[in-house]
Amino acid sequence: MINETWLNNNNTICPELTIMGKYEIVLANRTASRGGGALILITKEISFQEIFSGTKFQCELNHIKLLIGIKTIHLINIYRPPNCLLKNTKNLLNHLSKLTESDNLIYCGDFNIRNIDWQENKLIDLNDPLANLMLEFIDKKQLKQFVREPTRENSILDIILSNNIKIVQEVEVLENFSTSDHKIVKLIY
């Protein structure tokens, strides 16, 4: 999954991005302005169904259903820009709450939400309504957040949430990706 792709509908995806045809691409391009965007690359060895890709509530989303053996995993990639309005974030989280009641659900992406101590799952700034809203969502959906190291400067902005701790095998924060100011977050499920 890649966030802030900066792709738009005028861009052509080069064959190298699909690693010479070994991957399928699910794109959610920002159409109203430059920047943003969300992308999922899926190996052709895994069956999947695209549920949604596009923009909702000022955010780009990809929602796919992975079919791995007898297991189904809903994977939702989100790019929430830092200037996203509080009401849009509230609408986004309400939307995410209603997407699926699957036992195997993974939300991941760049949420751009600061002021949360992810080690303790508590607010750093008690007056931050955005961080409070996010923690309420996590508590209500009984999610666990797996990223424990900063992903951009000293902040954890890129997160992985799941309602089933057994499907997340490993999460590792690696070096920055290419020219990005965010680190790579490796997820094995």
CA angle 122, 151, 25 (to 5 degrees): 115
Domain boundaries, given as residue ranges, for the chain: 2-188
Of 106, 115, 125, 112, nearest in space to 85 by CA = 112
Contact 47, 15 (CB under 8 A): no
pLDDT-based confidence at residue 28 (cuts at 50, 70, 90):
confident
**Strand residues in the chain grouped as ranges (E):** 2-3, 23-28, 38-43, 47-56, 59-68, 71-79, 105-110, 116-117, 122-123, 144-145, 158-162, 170-176, 183-188
DSSP assignment of 37-57, as one string?
Answer: -EEEEEETTSEEEEEEEEEET
The pLDDT value recorded for residue 140 is 93
Stronger pLDDT, 43 or 176, i.e. the higher one: 43
The pTM of this model reads 0.85
Contact 104, 74 (CB under 8 A): yes
The pLDDT value recorded for residue 52 is 93
pLDDT in tens, 2-15: 776 666 665 555 55
d(CA 17, CA 12): 10
- What CATH class is the domain 2-188? alpha beta
